[in-house]
Amino acid sequence: MEVLDTSIANVALPHIAGSLSAGQDESTWVLTSYLVSNAIVLPLSGWLSSIVGRKYFYMGCVALFTISSFLCGLAPNLGMLIFFRILQGAGGGGLQPSEQSILADTFAPAKRGMAFAVYGIAVVMAPAIGPTLGGWITDNFTWRWIFFINIPVGIISLLLTSRLIQDPPYLKRRKLKETRIDYTGLGFVALGLGTLQVVLDKGQREDWFESHFIVVLTVVSAVSLIFVVFWEWRHKDPIIDLHLFRNRTFATSNFLMFMLGFALLGSTLLLPLFMQTILGYTAERSGLALMPGGFAIMVAMPVVGFLLSRYSPRWLMLFGLSMLSFSLFHMTTFDLGVDFHTVMMARVYQALGLAFLFVPINTAAYSGLPREKNNAASGLMNLARNIGGSVGISFVTTGLARRAQVHQVQLVEKLNAANPKFQSVLRGLTNTFSGGGAGPGTALQHAYAMMQANVIRQSTMLAYIDNFWVLGVVITCLIPCVFLIKKSKPAGMVVH
């Protein structure tokens, strides 16, 4: 439900703006506010768990997420909705790290792969079904129900957690009175990650560095995060344990998780947009094209979990990256006449690649760490995936807009009076409209309008192909990174 909430509200924004008498640009803060507070809490979750206890921290996050979801559904105006979304993001930010550290502690290394596989089905599927589910709820009920559906799930989660989850004996709570809270680090982490998320979310809309607002926030974010690295590295009781990055396997796993988020959310945004804007699919039909990919993940994840008990994570990652890059290069063969089955199979190939990445990366990340570091490691891994997803979305939206302009200029250069093919097509279209009863002047205008529409459609198609090609190259270049991960036995024991 938490991963779903990062994408489910996207399609409901026009309805939210209309219902609350807000502008379309103002309503985008419904998304940004959630992402900002979510990003701030993610790396702090390990530190907070050590103070209040992981079980109580997790239950507190579930309760905050559930109550704020209810309040979001009742919000009378945009200002209150944004405030409740900030609370919802703060509650949601602590869920994933706590869940993963609970799994890492509950299961022995030999079974950890399968546990992460079952958990990973939800994490990878949620962004894919979010827009479709959000659109269906909004069309058939009201946008407020995209928040109300969290309430029963939250209540059930609280009841089950209170009965089934216990903190392990080694996880000792620190007394708040004896804990020196690093207020400086806490403040700069919040400032740096918060401004970074706003820059990534608003950059393309504000034309990036042409906007004074984006320039200022970028400088603030860069200075804050650089300061955090130096401050937290030397602090005796850091908010974020950056010393974990001394472990080569953990550092590499974080980078691969960042790129997994980049590819997952970047392509998850591109495919539905491509089907709806270029192929003319409805939201429902584009959702149906993505659905087999979801089923492929459900089938593949347990298989990956089983294979992890037999083979090193490195070999599964190699297959996953190869399959993911193949699927993206396959998408570069799309054209304006691509059929439903081809698009559907491309998504299935991509889903198989993602399934063979999410679980092995997580398993490898925890394999060489002491178990008392699981909470801190979970926060950093989830932060890497979330920031990677934000960068991926910003990258593809910017690339789509800029490359469409470049291709449009290149195509328009061919459309001139000296080009006999252009003149032939223009005469043919004019005659067609004239035969339909339009006057000579009107027929010529219609012919030019149709030529312009075709140029825009073709240039946008070429921009999508460029984006798929770049994503494919980026993923292919990651393959050597797999060999930076230390060899490990299937049971998760690191071999030095």
More confident residue, 331 or 310: 331
Whether 95 and 103 have beta carbons less than 8 Å apart is answered as no
Across the strands, what pairs with 494?
488
**pLDDT higher than 60, residue 88:** yes
Q: Give the CA distances from residue 266 to residues 198, 291, 306, 394, 468, in Å, rounded to whole numbers and listed in that order.
A: 17, 17, 29, 8, 10
Residue-range domains of the chain with CATH: 1-165 (1.20.1250.20), 181-236 (no CATH), 244-496 (1.20.1250.20)
With cut-offs at 50, 70 and 90, classify the pLDDT of residue 496.
very low
More confident residue, 88 or 432: 88
- For the ranges 7-16, 59-68, 109-118, 445-454, the lowest mean pLDDT is seen at 7-16
**pLDDT higher than 70, residue 33:** yes
For range 113-142, the mean pLDDT = 74
pLDDT of residue 4: 76
* pTM reported for the whole predicted model: 0.76
**pLDDT higher than 80, residue 468:** yes
**pLDDT higher than 50, residue 495:** no
**pLDDT higher than 80, residue 269:** no
pLDDT of residue 7: 66
* pLDDT, averaged across the chain: 80
Three-state secondary structure readout of the chain: CCCHHHCCCHHHHHHHHHHCCCCHHHHCHHHHHHHHHHHHHHHHHHHHHHHHCHHHHHHHHHHHHHHHHHHHHHCCCHHHHHHHHHHHHHHHHCHHHHHHHHHHHHCCHHHHHHHHHHHHHHHHHHHHHHHHHHHHHHHHCCCCHHHHCHHHHHHHHHHHHHHHCCCCCCCCCCCHHHCCCCHHHHHHHHHHHHHHHHHHHHCCCCCHHHCHHHHHHHHHHHHHHHHHHHHHHHCCCCCCCHHHHHCHHHHHHHHHHHHHHHHHHHHHHHHHHHHHHCCCCCHHHHHHHHHHHHHHHHHHHHHHHHHHCCCCHHHHHHHHHHHHHHHHHHHCCCCCCCCHHHHHHHHHHHHHHHHHHHHHHHHHHHHCCCHHHHHHHHHHHHHHHHHHHHHHHHHHHHHHHHHHHHHHHHHHCCCCCCCHHHHHHHHHHHHHHHHCCCCHHHHHHHHHHHHHHHHHHHHHHHHHHHHHHHHHHHHHHCHHHHHHCCCECCCCCECC
pLDDT of residue 492: 46
More confident residue, 416 or 94: 94
Rounded to whole angstroms, the Cα distance separating 128 from 62 reads 23
**pLDDT higher than 80, residue 307:** yes
More confident residue, 479 or 416: 479
pLDDT of residue 159: 93
Work out the number of other CB atoms within 10 angstroms of the CB of residue 442. Answer: 14
With cut-offs at 50, 70 and 90, classify the pLDDT of residue 71.
very high
pLDDT per residue as tens digits for the range 372-408: 777 778 778 888 887 888 788 788 888 888 888 888 8
pLDDT of residue 301: 83
Largest CA distance in the chain: 87
For range 318-341, the mean pLDDT = 89
Q: Which residues contact 76 (CB under 8 A, 6 or more apart)?
A: none
With cut-offs at 50, 70 and 90, classify the pLDDT of residue 11.
low
Rounded to whole angstroms, the Cα distance separating 104 from 379 reads 13
pLDDT per residue as tens digits for the range 206-223: 778 888 888 898 899 899
With cut-offs at 50, 70 and 90, classify the pLDDT of residue 127.
low
Choose from 85-94, 405-414, 430-439 the range with maximum mean pLDDT.
Answer: 85-94
Q: Determine what percent of the chain is predicted with pLDDT higher than 90.
A: 6
**pLDDT higher than 50, residue 6:** yes
pLDDT per residue as tens digits for the range 340-380: 888 889 888 888 888 888 888 888 887 777 777 777 787 78
**pLDDT higher than 60, residue 289:** yes
Across the strands, what pairs with 488?
494
